[in-house]
Amino acid sequence: MKFGHFDDDRKEYVITTPKTPLPWINYLGSSEFFGLFSNTAGGYDFYKDAKLLRLTRYRYNNSPVDNSGRYYYIKDGDTIWNPGWQPVQTELDSYECRHGLGYSVITGAKNGIKAELTAFVPVHDPCEVNRLVITNEGSTERKLELFSYVEFCLWNAEDDSTNFQRNFSTGEVEVVGSTIYHKTEFRERRDHYAVYSVNVPVDGFDTSRDEFVGLYNGARNPQAVTEGHCHNSIAHGWALVGAHQINLTLAPGQSRTFIFVLGYCQCPRDKKFVSPGVINKEPADALLSRYQTPEQAEAALEELKEYWEGLLSTYNVDTPDQKLNRLVNIWNQYQCMVTFNMSRSASYFESGMGRGMGFRDSCQDLLGFVHLIPERARERIIDIANTQFSDGSTYHQYQPLTKKGNAAIGGGFNDDPLWLIAGTAAYLRETGDYSILDEDCAFDSDFSIARPLLDHLDLSFNFTASHLGPHGLPLIGRADWNDCLNLNCFSEEPGESFQTTGPSEGPVAESVFIGGMFVKYGNEYADILRHIGKDERAGQVEEAVALMKHTLETAGWDGDWFIRAFDAYSKPVGSHECEEGQIYIEPQGMCVMAGVGVESGKAEKALDSVKERLDTKYGIVLLNPAYTRYHVELGEISSYPPGYKENAGIFCHNNPWIACAETVLGHGARAFEVFKKTCPVYLEDISEIHRTEPYVYCQMVAGKDAPTFGEGKNSWLTGTAAWTFTTISQYILGIKPQLDGLMIDPCIPSDLKGYTLVRRFRGVNYHITVDNSAGAEKGVKQITVDGSPISGQIITPVTDRSDVTVSVVMG
């Protein structure tokens, strides 16, 4: 069942009912100011940090769902309605929501009145612009009252939702004309305030929630709207809101356009006030002056669209499969950008108050983002490295505002250091910018002991190499990539953290998965070292990698697949010896991607076991059989009911690893089969089952053991986006940046007879045509560059022209 459709020409997803299975959201913003915007105008805004600089409130887990947003009430006699249906939920005569790249448009109509709301965050300004056009489509004059409404958050979202004994006494506002200034805490420690304004004179306003909504009412039937007028309330403490009232009369066919702006403004600390208690409004005046007319708003929206057109021109493919084209050319890259900006911090499923930027998460997100804006990827790598510890271990998370590690979680997740090598290697392959290796990076944000990034990479490698367990495999620490496999923590009391309980490091528990990472990213590190002339160190790295590869094929091999780990008692996890959880997906993907077992045939066996033991119609489950009881020696993974999350759910993040692994063995058809199963654009027709947005990946799909098999959860902010784009663009379509140039190495289904694509690489557009008339799954017979054949599969970077024509013949 569908709840909308794709509009590829406009790069939009069109939702045709407000009653989607879950709120289907979009992200507004591309740099520092962001908004979550649902198909019923729910969501919130923040500047840089969703926890520390939250402008508006959102109520998670509330009933009805998707509660709080930017609401516009239209009072037409006794009828009150919203363009986006929520929160009044008056049935509309027509409804449509178009989610585009960085903007959304909601259009609703009732009784001959049409309202079109366009929401976006401009490329260069810290604000959300709402353009509301109201049209009288009837044949008689209409008199209406329009009310806007947002609910302010008192900046720190966590404190705002808990510290009521303080917060109900701190709220402060100013109102001048049509502009409401939210200035809570401005007269003491803050140098920023929020502004909410409309570009026309208003007939009333409210800043007190109690006055606008009514003490025992909700947003569904606010008192001011039902009465037909605001109260001009100035809030002192309690709950602060921004509401405008505009009375309007529309002749038949007439439209009125209103520009509402919700923005973040910052003042120099020595120029915060113009007089006692009166804030300096110059930053707000300057911001608002740029959005006073419909023409200004339209120009800003067009600039935003052009910005995205430029970004997406970096990689564009044309195949006979229109669904694949829209995924690769639009939605997958768009999600990679959003995930890079947000990490795992702010979504419908993540409140923005906890995780900040993940060390491992952000490094992986670079894989799918680095081709879009390499300079921002470079900055992110430096930020991440600055939080590393001097022994090579890392914080698991850091806050985007302070760029310092989150001490509450700390470190001890032993896969984290190797991801720094992965992210840096991806940047170097994309850009050839070796100067990044000379950048001084701090340890634990202490720049007095900074060392070049290359030293940080070496420490990352050495940390794993020097933390090995009894089998010669890497120690797992608190957890590896799978945060729910907690082999050293032993959490037994309700409310304890599964990850931070217990000794954290432990002398015994080992990870086969980190071993696979060590081989894959150790080889990439050695490649970097050789390219900068450090052959001796490269040889040492390669020697350690070779030893680990042997260990994985011996101690890490279970007979038909790779073991997942060894627990704190040195018992195998993910082995035929186990009663439950006999086989896991992660080591099969990572080890084969790393080339482990390819020559011996063990890689082929491992992937056969995945297909036999883990595959389902909706994707590959994380493990099998599911755990049916809690195992304290395994931790959180066994706390979930069977089929959900890490306990035999379909974890979309690691399904691409299997697709990548299949391409290593030349299995193009199988790789694409695995790729498609979790791909949202191929799941649009079963949206009533899948539930999450059909235009972006989710983190998890309920597995075959779950009563809701096929149901998606945790959409948008997942490492799935980066890995799926890497999988399709590099491993399947086969255009792989290398340190030496651009490798052409497709691995595709035999019935895909060819495709064309444009790939911008180091400032040059490569126009590539792949001819697969031979029906091959892998293998390149000939490559010509601008009409001249080359030897091998790597195109040396071009520096003397902006466009290159490449012809590839498979066979």
Encoded tokens for 392: 């090579």
Q: Strand, coil or helix: what is 352?
A: coil
Residue 355 pLDDT greater than 80, yes or no:
no
Q: Can you name the residues that pair with 397 across neighbouring β-strands? A: 358
Q: Which residue has the tokens 């947005």?
A: 693
Burial class (CB in 10 A: 0-12, 13-18, 19+), 668: buried
Greatest extent of the chain over all pairs of C-alpha atoms, in Å: 85
Residue 505 pLDDT greater than 80, yes or no:
no
pLDDT tens per residue across span 57-76: 999 988 888 999 999 999 99
d(CA 521, CA 506): 24
Give one DSSP letter per residue of 400-446, joined into a string. TTT--B-TTT-B-BTTHHHHHHHHHHHHHHHH--GGGGGSEEEETTE
Q: Is the peptide bond before 64 cis (omega within 30 degrees of 0)?
A: yes
pLDDT tens per residue across span 589-608: 999 999 999 999 999 999 99
Residue 258 pLDDT greater than 70, yes or no:
yes
Residue 446 among the catalytic residues: no
Residue 504 pLDDT greater than 70, yes or no:
no
Closest CA to 499 of 390, 354, 342: 354
- Are 516 and 552 a contacting pair, CB within 8 Å? yes
Q: In which band, very low, low, confident or very high, does the pLDDT at 315 lie, cut at 50, 70 and 90?
A: very high
Q: Give the pLDDT score at 484.
A: 96
Work out the number of other CB atoms within 10 angstroms of the CB of residue 403: 16
pLDDT tens per residue across span 749-804: 999 999 999 999 999 999 999 999 999 999 999 999 999 999 999 999 999 999 99
Q: Give the pLDDT score at 407.
A: 87
- Are 512 and 464 a contacting pair, CB within 8 Å? no
Q: Strand, coil or helix: what is 204?
A: strand
d(CA 430, CA 611): 33
pLDDT tens per residue across span 161-209: 999 999 999 999 999 999 999 999 999 899 999 999 999 999 999 999 9
d(CA 643, CA 701): 9
- Are 20 and 2 a contacting pair, CB within 8 Å? no
Residue 154 pLDDT greater than 90, yes or no:
yes
Q: Which residue has the tokens 């379509």?
A: 733
**Measured CA distances, 131 to 104, 120, 242, 259, 689 (Å):** 11, 9, 17, 5, 34
Encoded tokens for 530: 């050789």
Q: Which residue has the tokens 């493919």?
A: 317
H, E, C per residue of 641-684: CCCECCECCEECCCHHHHHHHHHHCCCHHHHHHHHHHCCHHHCH
* CA 265 to chain CA mean position, Å: 26
Q: Strand, coil or helix: what is 578?
A: coil
Q: In terms of pTM, does the model score above 0.85?
A: yes
Instruction: Please identify which of the residues 125, 483, 567, 745 carries the catalytic annotation.
Output: 483
pLDDT tens per residue across span 611-649: 999 999 999 999 999 999 999 999 999 999 999 999 999
- Rounded percentage of the chain residues whose pLDDT exceeds 90: 95
pLDDT tens per residue across span 526-556: 999 999 999 999 999 999 999 999 999 999 9
pLDDT tens per residue across span 127-145: 999 999 999 999 999 999 9
d(CA 644, CA 646): 6
Q: Give the pLDDT score at 501.
A: 83
H, E, C per residue of 747-766: ECCCCCCEEEEEEEECCEEE
- Are 219 and 87 a contacting pair, CB within 8 Å? yes
d(CA 677, CA 782): 32
If you average pLDDT over residues 497-511, what whole number do you get?
83
Residues 6+ apart with CB under 8 A from 455: none
Cα angle 613-614-615, degrees, rounded to a multiple of 5 = 110
- Are 354 and 49 a contacting pair, CB within 8 Å? no
- Are 781 and 727 a contacting pair, CB within 8 Å? no
Q: Strand, coil or helix: what is 772?
A: coil
If you average pLDDT over residues 318-330, what whole number do you get?
98
d(CA 541, CA 140): 80
Amino acid at site 174: E
- Rounded percentage of the chain residues whose pLDDT exceeds 70: 100
Mean pLDDT (the chain) is 97
Work out the number of other CB atoms within 10 angstroms of the CB of residue 275: 7
Q: Give the pLDDT score at 513.
A: 98
